[in-house]
Amino acid sequence: MPSRRLNLVAICLDTFRYDLATHRAPWTVSLPNLDRMREQSTLFTQAFGEGLPTIPMRRAYFTGERSFPWRFAFDTKGSWPTGRGWHKIPPEQPTLAEVLLAEGYQTGLIADTYHLFKPTGNFTRGFLAYEAVRGYESDNFRPGRMTREELSKYVTDPDPARYPVLTQYLLNVRGRQSEMDWSTAKVFSKASDWVLAASEDEPFFLWVDSFAPHEPWDPPRPYLRPFGLDARSSAIEAIYPVGYTAKDLSPAAIERTRGLYLAYLTFVDRWLGHLLETLDRTGLARNTVVMVVNDHGTELMDHGQFSKAPHRLYTHNTQMIWMIRHPDELKATTSEAMVQSHDLFPTALSLLGVKHPPVAGDDVWPLRQAEAGQGREHVIIGWGSHASVRTRDWNYIVNFEDPKNHPELFNLRTDAGEQKNLIDDRPEISQSLRAHLEEVIGPLPAQLKDSVRPSDAPIRDYFDSRIDQEKRDAGFV
């Protein structure tokens, strides 16, 4: 039990790769504020999400319960995408905010991760105050007509109907003048203002959710200068490269697109630093636990494409950043214990000395100096109809509904980049890992008891209706 009531600030950075946050990637990027955070924190070097991507991860963070295996059939209409696990927090699961609110904490949520505010999600439960910063990606924020000329800067065939998500984003961000017009700057500025106001009546808990560096990779132009990208290329600038492969882009365009992502990281780091500086300058850091996490990473052509996908449960996509800065232990510590996203809830409450009902996750703070061999021997990660069983030595990836459809097995000791599939060479290893998965979801092929109600971004529905109308007008329907 702490000798005083500590505050908690948790910062989630969407699509921020672990290896870049910890300078273990093949690309160099300057992240002075994350570096400073890491130098004063415990870093879990074997942390992985358990249910991916965005919404399943945050539900596990908020509740301490596993999102995977998928098992709920809640209404998801009004949310998009409507993938497996993209549903509200079950009413019987108390949230971190609800528990702390009941303990007398001021609780706050500030985010531009627009999925958290969709009508069927209920992710604002327990927050005394919350604020949505609007306009990221396909957030249905602003209307308008997108011209082919505007879109031609970013795609080779500038038909807005073919790129509804990018079109909605470009409509949302029209008229930006300065760095402060980017939602990332707004989120961290508002978070700084929130802690200043909440500090008048401590303790407080604030969840800051930055959707950056999620696509579109579109930082303010000055952040491109260190990467030699500040001058616009005559070629397209692929700020929304989801699913692009090496066949879609020239080598120069691939390098430029990767540079856009790296530059975006530096922008996020700068504004993360604004919040950390506020805590330091006001003295609040002396009484505040700070956590930095992500929800997943992304691929930068590591396996021949940009972005992520359910069947691509590689390290770059699934590894979590998890740094914990405790005001009484300001030193760099690493833990090799295997931990997961649903461990955040019990760990956070333990650090604050707050009791909670039993949950699936574990308090991992006692493992902060753990070496390999302590904690879990394996973790299970789910996304869509795919699952990964990961140990320190192996990663087994399988479509649990169709296990013969291109399963993969990688030796992490000799192939950290997960390039050589050993599924046919080491059947005893894959069978052993498959058995761990079957303990959780039953014999493969497995059919889980969840259901998804299809729903799409309004901008997609809009363009679909326009195309249908054009066909009717032309007499094709």
Q: Cβ distance 225 to 28 under 8 Å? A: no
**pLDDT score for 369:** 81
Paired with 288 in beta bridges are 7
**pLDDT score for 89:** 97
User: How far does the chain reach from its first CA to its final CA, in angstroms?
Assistant: 70
Instruction: Give the count of beta carbons closer than 10 Å to the beta carbon of residue 319.
Output: 24
Model-level pTM? 0.96
**pLDDT score for 1:** 43
pLDDT, tens only, 221-269: 999 999 998 776 667 899 999 999 999 999 999 999 999 999 999 999 9
Q: Alpha-carbon distance 101 to 108, whole Å? A: 10
Paired with 13 in beta bridges are 210, 294
- Written as six digits, the tokens of 366 are 């006692």
Q: Cβ distance 38 to 332 under 8 Å? A: yes
Q: Give the whole-number percent of the chain exceeding pLDDT 90.
A: 90
How do 204-210 and 106-111 pair as beta strands?
parallel
Phi–psi pair at 291, nearest 5 degrees: -120, 140
pLDDT at 192 over 80: yes
pLDDT at 272 over 90: yes
Q: What is the SS3 assignment for 170?
A: helix
Segment 254-258 long-range contacts (CB within 8 Å, at least 24 positions apart): 254/301, 256/229, 257/217, 257/306, 258/27, 258/300, 258/301
Q: Alpha-carbon distance 207 to 292, whole Å? A: 10
Mean pLDDT across the stretch 397-422?
Answer: 98
- HEC-encoded secondary structure of 180-223: HHCHHHHHHHHHHHHHHHHHHHCCEEEEEEECCCCCCCCCCHHH
Q: Alpha-carbon distance 458 to 140, whole Å? A: 7
Q: What is the SS3 assignment for 111?
A: strand
Residue type at position 265: L
Mean pLDDT across the stretch 172-197?
Answer: 98
Minimal CA–CA distance to 410: which of 398, 402, 418? 418
Most confident of the ranges 81-85, 91-95, 452-456, 464-468: 91-95
22 HSE (CA, 13 A, CB side): 24
Average pLDDT, the chain: 95
Query: What are the structural domains, with CATH classification, of the chain?
Result: 7-371+450-473 (3.40.720.10), 385-446 (3.30.1120.10)
